[in-house]
Amino acid sequence: MGKRGPAPKPDRIRVLEGNPSKRPLRGDSPRPKGIPTCPSWLSPEAKQEWRRVAPELARLGLLTRLDRTALACYCTCYSWWRSAQETICSQGALYVTSKGQLRTRPEVEIAKQAAESMRDFAAEFGLTPTSRSRLLIPPSEEEIDPIEEMLRESEKRRRQK
């Protein structure tokens, strides 16, 4: 029998979300290092998607070497979805059988299933608007505006009173 309840979120994600439950962080979760390389066996479309999302995920600290397979799966689903969508756009969502019946193209179901899988993987990496809205990513040192910093400090002092 599987474990009950939702899978625990990694501390890194909980910190980025602002730890809404205010429960203590576990602190013992592994923190793998390194950015994964793009698998050579991915299709050209999947490699293109990898090159689009991997650098940004790595910059945010949401991608490590251990995430290579999960990101490859996301990129593969993207490739399948894109291929099916191109067929649907060029040939339409329906076709007429030899008996004159109107049927839905198989690519419609492929696109639907690929989009669902892609959405699930995307949510794991914070690539959807909803999952991204839950993340509180601190600005890098070079992005901090001095005036913004002064406003933050005055707000902290006001809250402490």
Distances (CA, A) of 59 to 8, 62, 71: 23, 8, 15
3-state secondary structure string across 17-81: CCCCCCCCCCCCCCCCCCCCCCCCCCCHHHHHHHHHHHHHHHHCCCCCHHHHHHHHHHHHHHHHH
Q: Is the pLDDT of residue 133 over 60?
A: yes
Span 84-99, pLDDT tens digits: 999 999 999 999 999 9
pTM listed for this prediction: 0.66
> Which residue, 14, 6, 79, 71, is CA-closest to 37?
71
- Quote the pLDDT of residue 69: 93
> In this prediction, what percent of the chain has a pLDDT beyond 70?
80
Span 89-132, pLDDT tens digits: 999 999 999 999 999 999 999 999 999 999 999 888 888 877 77
By residue count, the chain amounts to 161
